[in-house]
């Protein structure tokens, strides 16, 4: 089992250091009745033989990491030197595929996560106030967006927001703009993806908070009521502190899940205006020529990102665990 985790990581690191072979070129002289011409051709057999012999490609060191489609150090330096304003520099950086994907991934992670927490808590409080009989069906319907395959869920929404689908058409009427399309502009696409993200993950926060609400001590709530706390004050000063550990847990899970956002981009066909790191890897592996080196380099950078994201959590868990044992 451990091998299955370690091996692919080793494999991507090794792969990321290589690039595909260049094609073997041969120069042939064609002599005809009107003199000789020199022609450069691709020697297909030799290229194939070379690829066969060394499937990894040739060694490229860190070259793949610094080229234009990854960290793009040369382009960055150039843009920085020729900058006229900070805005223009940022604009140029955002044109580089890796930074574009990184920007989307990070904004998705840090915008969706807090919204999910808030929405989940609101739903949990609402459901907790329902009569017992209605809670079961409510939970059933709430689970749907989360359990359903992410790709399918995003497709369902994608068809609805189509200019000819129900939500898209309604929005056009509301804003009185027959050309309004959620797919056309990058800003609206980002917004759509954020909304999808919240819709997809809110049930998870809801279920965890709802379970937590069942354990809020009734005496404390009653004491607060006797002291004259309003409903809002009770939530603010009794319920929320009680749910804090759960909020940490949900945040952690959501950070991890949102950082690898991938399926919605395929489902919403949003790659033109929003790509994530996962999507970059997917498209490298998918293209006409499979660029294993590129995909691997992006993978390594993504793994580093995950590591940075997880370090505080791991340290905290380690401390908790030691405290428990002590």
Residues between 62 and 121 that touch another protein (CB under 8 A): none
Encoded one letter per residue, x for contact with another protein by CB under 8 A and - for no contact, window 239-278 reads ------xx--xx--x--x--xx-xx--xx-x-------xx
The Cα–Cα gap between 78 and 74 comes to 6
DSSP 260: T
The Cα–Cα gap between 140 and 80 comes to 53
Residue 191 within binding range of another protein, rule CB under 8 A: no
- Please pick, from the candidates 125, 216, 221, 224, the single residue that binds another protein as defined by CB under 8 A: 125
**Is 252 exposed, middle or buried (CB count within 10 Å of its CB: 0-12, 13-18, 19+)?**
middle
Residue 123 within binding range of another protein, rule CB under 8 A: yes
| Beta carbon of residue 289, minimum distance to another protein (angstroms, whole number) | 14
Q: Which of 138, 129, 127, 122 is nearest to 221 (CA)?
A: 129
| Beta carbon of residue 317, minimum distance to another protein (angstroms, whole number) | 7
Residue 8 within binding range of another protein, rule CB under 8 A: yes
| Beta carbon of residue 117, minimum distance to another protein (angstroms, whole number) | 13
Q: Closest CB to another protein among 190 and 210?
A: 210
| Beta carbon of residue 147, minimum distance to another protein (angstroms, whole number) | 6
Which residues within the stretch 296-315 sit at the binding site for another protein (CB under 8 A)?
296, 299, 302-303, 306, 309-310, 313-314
Strand-pair partners of 58? 19
| Beta carbon of residue 236, minimum distance to another protein (angstroms, whole number) | 15
- Please pick, from the candidates 17, 121, 208, 270, the single residue that binds another protein as defined by CB under 8 A: 208
| Beta carbon of residue 72, minimum distance to another protein (angstroms, whole number) | 20
CA distances from 128 to 63, 198, 205, 248 (A): 57, 21, 14, 21
The Cα–Cα gap between 106 and 68 comes to 20
Strand-pair partners of 38? 29
The Cα–Cα gap between 32 and 123 comes to 82
Q: What is the helix (H) or strand (E) element at residue 270, kind and residue range?
A: none
- Please pick, from the candidates 38, 81, 141, 174, the single residue that binds another protein as defined by CB under 8 A: 141
Q: Closest CB to another protein among 83 and 183?
A: 183
- Count residues contacting another protein (CB under 8 A)? 90
CA dihedral 232, 202, 271, 69 (to 10 degrees): 80
Q: Closest CB to another protein among 33 and 129?
A: 129
């Amino acid at each position: 089992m451990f091998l299955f985790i370690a091996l692919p990581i080793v494999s991507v690191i090794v792969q990321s250091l290589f690039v595909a072979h260049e094609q073997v070129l041969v120069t042939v002289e064609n002599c005809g009745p009107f003199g000789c011409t020199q022609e450069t051709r691709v020697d297909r057999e030799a290229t194939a033989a070379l690829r066969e012999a060394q499937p990894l490609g040739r060694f490229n060191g860190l070259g793949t990491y610094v080229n234009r489609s990854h960290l793009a150090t040369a382009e960055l330096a150039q843009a920085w030197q020729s900058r006229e304003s900070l805005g223009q520099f940022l604009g140029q950086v955002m044109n580089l595929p890796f930074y574009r994907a990184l920007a989307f991934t990070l904004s998705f992670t840090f915008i969706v996560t807090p919204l999910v927490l808030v929405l989940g808590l609101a739903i949990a409080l609402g459901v907790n106030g329902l009569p017992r009989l209605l809670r079961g069906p409510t939970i059933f319907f709430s689970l749907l967006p989360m359990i359903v395959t992410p790709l399918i869920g995003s497709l369902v929404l994608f068809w609805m927001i189509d200019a000819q689908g129900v939500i898209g058409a309604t929005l056009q009427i509301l804003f009185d703009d027959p050309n309004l399309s959620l797919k056309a502009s990058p800003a609206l696409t980002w917004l759509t993806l954020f909304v999808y993200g919240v819709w997809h993950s809110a049930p998870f926060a809801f279920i965890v908070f709802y379970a937590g609400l069942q354990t809020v001590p009734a005496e404390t709530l009653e004491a607060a009521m006797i002291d004259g706390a309003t409903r809002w004050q009770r939530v603010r000063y009794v319920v929320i502190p009680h749910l804090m550990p759960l909020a940490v847990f949900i945040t952690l899970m959501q950070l991890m899940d949102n950082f690898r956002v991938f399926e919605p981009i395929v489902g919403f066909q949003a790659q033109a205006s929003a790509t994530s790191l996962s999507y970059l890897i997917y498209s490298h592996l998918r293209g006409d020529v499979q660029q294993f080196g590129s995909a691997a380099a992006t993978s390594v950078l993504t793994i580093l990102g995950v590591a940075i994201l997880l370090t505080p959590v791991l340290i905290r868990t380690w401390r908790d665990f030691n405290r428990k044992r002590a």
